[in-house]
Amino acid sequence: MKSVLSSIFGLILLGSAMASPAASADAETIVRETTEKVLAALRSEGDTLKDDPKRLHAIIEQLVLPHFDFRQMSQWVLGVHWRNATPTQRDAFVMQFEDLLVRTYSRALVDYRNQKVAFLPARARSADEVTVRASIDQGSGPAISIAYEMYRTDAGWKVYDVAIDGVSLVINYRSSFGQEIRRGGIDGLIQRLAEKNMSDRG
């Protein structure tokens, strides 16, 4: 996955012709409003976040994480390995995977420099599934396209995948984690993620 994915994740909270227009509007509103809140926090606190990573983690946890379904993402990332995992292994993986993403994207957000975010018309595949699209103007070079795959749950709209220039986060991690599982099993993958997360804490 391109390194730019790191910065894009932090900028978020973040069809069918028969789909309801309101469905895509509601999902897009969530992404827009969350993006604006995160960007406002980054502008307000600026370089002080470099010296206070816990504060940046808190911003992401407060504004972004509530709009992601990490358990569903984890299930799709592990694929067949999810079905073979025990409940304890599943819970442990979800926790470490979420922690990994928060820390990875927190580091990237420290270098945020006011890139412009433009939203494109959302695509509703059904009344309960929507692709919210955006474009990042880097200032130099081509713009970066982002697609937030979202679905409606009892708790509201949730992101279950993010694609950067057509490259899916879920598919990317499924490939790399699959290789790790073949080497050391799912417990080996969980241990590796836990060690990386612990190392990142310093």
The whole-number pLDDT of residue 22 equals 53
Contact between 35 and 117 (Cβ < 8 Å) = yes
Q: What is the pTM of this model?
A: 0.79
Radius of gyration of the chain (CA): 17
Structure tokens at 25: 């509007």
Q: What is the pLDDT along the chain (202 residues), one digit of tens a residue?
A: 444 444 444 444 433 333 344 556 688 888 888 888 888 888 887 778 777 878 888 888 888 888 999 999 999 999 999 999 999 999 999 999 998 888 776 766 666 656 778 888 889 888 899 999 988 887 777 888 889 999 999 988 999 998 888 888 889 899 999 999 999 999 999 999 999 888 876 5
The whole-number pLDDT of residue 24 equals 60
Question: 25-50: buried (b, 16+ CB within 10 Å) or exposed (e) per residue?
Answer: ebbbebbbebbeebbebbeeeeeebe
Q: d(Cα 68, Cα 74) in Å, to the nearest integer? A: 11
The whole-number pLDDT of residue 101 equals 82
**Domains identified in the chain and CATH numbers:** 4-201 (3.10.450.710)
The whole-number pLDDT of residue 10 equals 45
Structure tokens at 172: 């990317």
